């Protein structure tokens, strides 16, 4: 006997105020953060700092994919934008990101000398 789960099977919504965000490094998922609608990227980076023992979080940022109309940057019309650290991350992703949402941990500040980074995880 087959059980029909309906259209919502495999999908879970915690609440309208709470959502789960998967942070990737490259193409690989790193961690999932449970955030509320008013959480900022600073909150998410603080959570990452505790979970993966990241000491120099000021050089990292979160970026997400956006759909662009011009084909000057990429052939597929997709580019990346950094999440603004003081604005709610959910509002930025709802407004600008393309589906499926891909959020990456990325380096904001480039350093020519890798040994100037004191954190071994950051290296």
68 vs 58: CA distance, rounded Å: 28
Query: Domain-by-domain residue ranges, the chain?
Result: 18-116
What pLDDT digit, counting tens, does each position of 19-70 carry?
A: 888 888 888 888 888 888 899 988 888 888 888 888 777 788 899 988 777 6
> Closest Cα to residue 102, out of 10, 28, 8?
28
DSSP strands (E only) in 1-73: 18-25, 28-36, 60-67
| Tokens 């980076």, located at residue | 45
> Closest Cα to residue 92, out of 38, 43, 12?
38
Q: How many helices (H) and strands (E) does the chain have?
A: 2, 5
What pLDDT digit, counting tens, does each position of 95-106 carry?
A: 888 888 888 888
CATH of domain 18-116: 3.10.20.90
């Amino acid at each position: 006997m087959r059980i029909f789960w309906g259209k919502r099977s495999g999908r879970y919504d915690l609440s309208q105020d709470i959502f789960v965000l998967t942070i990737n490094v490259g193409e690989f998922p790193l961690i999932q953060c449970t955030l509320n609608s008013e959480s900022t990227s600073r909150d998410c980076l603080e959570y990452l700092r505790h979970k993966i023992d990241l000491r120099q979080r000021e050089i990292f940022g979160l970026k997400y994919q956006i759909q662009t109309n011009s084909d000057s940057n990429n052939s597929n019309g997709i580019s990346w934008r950094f999440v603004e650290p003081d604005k709610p991350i959910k509002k930025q992703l709802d407004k600008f990101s393309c589906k499926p949402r891909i959020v990456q941990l990325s380096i904001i500040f480039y350093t020519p000398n890798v040994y100037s980074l004191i954190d071994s995880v950051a290296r």
